[in-house]
Amino acid sequence: MNLPFFWIDVAAYTLTAVVAAALMLIVVGVGPRRAVNLSFGLLMLAISLWAGCSVVLRLALWMQSGTQQFWMEFSTVPFTLIGPFLLLFCTLYTQMEERWPYGVVAAGVLLASLLTVPLFQHQIVNNVRLTDNGIVTWDRSLVGTLVSIPLLISAVLALVPVWGAWRRMREPYLAIAIIILVVSGVLFSFISLPIPTLSLAITITISLMGYAILGRQLFNPLRELTENLEQQVAERTQALEENANELQRTLSRLRQHVTYLRTAAEVARDVAAIRDMDELLGQTASLIAERFDYYNVSIFLLDETAEALVLRTATSAGGQRMRERGYRQPVRLDNIVGSVAKTGQPRLVFDVGPGAVAFDNPDLPLTRSEIVVPLRVRNQTIGVLDVHSTQEAAFGEDDLVVLQVVADQLAVAIENTRLFAQQQASLRELDTLQRLYTGEQWERLLRERLMTTQYHYTAAGVKPGGRSWEAGEEEAITLGRVVTARDNGDVVLVAPITLHNQPIGTLAFRRPAEAADWTPQEMALVEAAVNQMALALENVRLLEEAQRRAARDRLISQAAARMRETLDLEGVLKTAANEIASALGLAALEVQLGTEPEQAQDS
């Protein structure tokens, strides 16, 4: 037997057991109420018991006491707990937030406890012996191999929190020791070498842990408290500097934002009073381009089908050429302005950075950035505001907010302009209908009444009839205002009598030739009198029309009442014929039932 390897193995395990026990006492002593200290103490306890039993096992084999099977099985129990305790310690030390490691630890401890029954029944390991090199070896059953795999997996999983917290771990020695412990424990559990590999690897691991704990005061609450305070001070200082810088940037953005909003308010104020659509769009685009110093500002509006956007105005020379060509874009997602109109969401497009777009419009060759915002009224998109800049990544959230405010105000102004145009058209149509109705009613009235339509005033008084047509009357009716003229030397003043801009007559005045011309005051007085005359004539006509309607309704009501007095069909027909003929002054009236010619002949 190779005694040097044997005693090296014994010395390594002895050193491991002593150091692990000492580290357990030190760490638990300085922090008995800290979970991370207690978990490290459990890990050191398992390593210390396993290493101590390994020493006794080797001495028993050397002395051939026959107790090697018991010590092998007894040392296996703490060895199976090293993996779960290592995972528990790594989870607490790295402050891992996930909860799954605790479930794995609980399962590993339970599995190690259940393993003790077949273990001490010699169903896991047997035939423990020393090789010629002085290395302990044994035979492992299939059940032992299968059961040990989950326990080794828990040890491998301990690397997960270590890997995740590698960059923020303050002591690399501890991380290196953990990695050596896991790799050596897993590797040498299945591979047996003719040299004391596992014991030496564990010794190196314990040495690194001892240096980290004793030399670097790891797990010492006072050291950690000091480091935490220093870190908090550094973090607070950095946070204050960042807050100061952020505040400065925020103030700068606020100033710029206030400037933008002031400019937007000025744009809205300037376009609020414009009622012509083309003037409104052109003035708004020019104001935006001028105040914000943009390369091109275009305004698109939906056509009648709402399937295409029509360029209505543009500020740059290239944009104006596009408008003259009747530039249109379909409302689809494959183009920028069309996608904004379809989705109702603004878009920012740049030629650099993520999602960069190559601008290839030959009419706008200097475009480097583009922002398109929808024109919406009552949740309906009516067009888009398209803005181009020659600067790289020129637009940000502030520009988007301001341009959306301007677009919303422009959309309202466009809608008001459309409503105003529709209202004006309706008023013109209503005025035309009113004039036609007034003219027709007066023509019907004069035709039905056969009344005298012309009166002449002289010194003897007012008489019907008069001169056929005064000079200037045709001109007064055509122009719709008071005019003066000369007729055979006399001074003539003619004022049209109008209702709803519809002439219904004239009022003419004549002075001798030697008299003075009509003064503006006299013309104004005549015009006021004529207006009052027109209203009085219209009131009389309306009164007579209302009286006629009332009389007609009364006759109809009386006729209907008499027809309802009888229940006989023939009597109803006779009464209807008599009442209608009497009301209309007819000489004869025929009432006939039936619509077919044969029925009429039979009757």
- How far is CA 360 from each of CA 330, 357, 365, 366, rounded to the nearest angstrom? 18, 9, 7, 10
Report the C-alpha gap between 271 and 280 in whole angstroms.
Answer: 6
3-state secondary structure (DSSP) of residue 297 = strand
Q: Where do we find the tokens 């414009």? A: 274
Type of residue found at 326:
G
Model confidence over 237-265: pLDDT tens digits? 888 888 888 888 888 778 777 777 777 77
Domain stop point among 199, 219, 239: 219
Positions of the chain with pLDDT under 50? 599-603
State both tokens at 105. Answer: 């630890």
Asked, for residue 72, whether it belongs to a domain, the answer is yes
Q: Structural domain of residue 334, as residue ranges?
A: 265-422
| Whole-number pLDDT of residue 2 | 55
Residues 160 and 285 in one domain: no
Domain stop point among 201, 219, 237: 219
Asked, for residue 325, whether it belongs to a domain, the answer is yes
| Whole-number pLDDT of residue 297 | 93
Report the C-alpha gap between 102 and 88 in whole angstroms.
Answer: 7
| Whole-number pLDDT of residue 386 | 93
| Whole-number pLDDT of residue 238 | 87
| CA angle centred on 559, ends 558 and 563, rounded to 5° | 115
Type of residue found at 561:
A
CATH number at residue 533: 3.30.450.40
| CA angle centred on 48, ends 45 and 50, rounded to 5° | 105
Asked, for residue 35, whether it belongs to a domain, the answer is yes
DSSP assignment string, 448-482: HH-----EEEETTEEEE---S--TTHHHHHHHTS-
- How far is CA 277 from each of CA 274, 281, 309, 337, rounded to the nearest angstrom? 8, 6, 16, 21
Residues 471 and 582 in one domain: no
Residues 373 and 474 in one domain: no
Model confidence over 500-547: pLDDT tens digits? 777 777 888 877 777 777 888 888 888 888 888 888 887 887 887 788
| Whole-number pLDDT of residue 162 | 81
Residues 293 and 367 in one domain: yes
Report the C-alpha gap between 161 and 89 in whole angstroms.
Answer: 10
| Whole-number pLDDT of residue 218 | 54
Q: Please write down the long-range contacts of 160-163, taking CB distance under 8 Å and 24 or more positions apart.
A: 160/90, 160/101, 161/90, 161/91, 161/93, 161/94, 161/96, 161/101, 162/90, 162/94
Asked, for residue 259, whether it belongs to a domain, the answer is no
State the Cα torsion 145-148-150-154 to the nearest 10°: -140
Asked, for residue 503, whether it belongs to a domain, the answer is yes
Asked, for residue 558, whether it belongs to a domain, the answer is no
Residues 39 and 173 in one domain: yes
Residues 598 and 474 in one domain: no
| Whole-number pLDDT of residue 170 | 62
Asked, for residue 241, whether it belongs to a domain, the answer is no
Give, to the nearest 10 degrees, the angle between helix 569-584 and helix 520-563: 160
| Whole-number pLDDT of residue 409 | 84
554: CB partners within 8 A, 6+ apart:
none
Report the C-alpha gap between 353 and 593 in whole angstroms.
Answer: 89
| Whole-number pLDDT of residue 463 | 67
Closest Cα to residue 8, out of 173, 126, 133?
133
In whole angstroms, what separates CA 383 from the centre of its chain? 18
Domain stop point among 380, 399, 422: 422
338: CB partners within 8 A, 6+ apart:
309, 329, 330, 331, 332
| Whole-number pLDDT of residue 600 | 45
| Whole-number pLDDT of residue 601 | 46
Residues 593 and 517 in one domain: no
Residues 334 and 462 in one domain: no
Residues 325 and 194 in one domain: no
Residues 157 and 275 in one domain: no
Residues 387 and 466 in one domain: no
Phi/psi region, residue 93 (left: phi>0; alpha: psi -120 to 50; beta: rest), is alpha
Beta strands 136-140 and 296-302: pairing type?
A: unpaired
Q: State the pTM of this model.
A: 0.42
Name the percent of the chain in helix, strand, coil, to the closest 5. 60, 15, 25
Q: Mean pLDDT for the chain? A: 80
- How far is CA 443 from each of CA 257, 439, 451, rounded to the nearest angstrom? 67, 6, 11
Give, to the nearest 10 degrees, the angle between helix 172-190 and helix 68-93: 140
| Whole-number pLDDT of residue 312 | 93
Asked, for residue 237, whether it belongs to a domain, the answer is no
Closest Cα to residue 442, out of 398, 505, 381?
505
Please give the tally of structural domains in the chain. 4
| Whole-number pLDDT of residue 384 | 93
Residues 542 and 572 in one domain: no
For the beta carbon of residue 131, count every other beta carbon within 10 angstroms: 14
| Whole-number pLDDT of residue 514 | 72
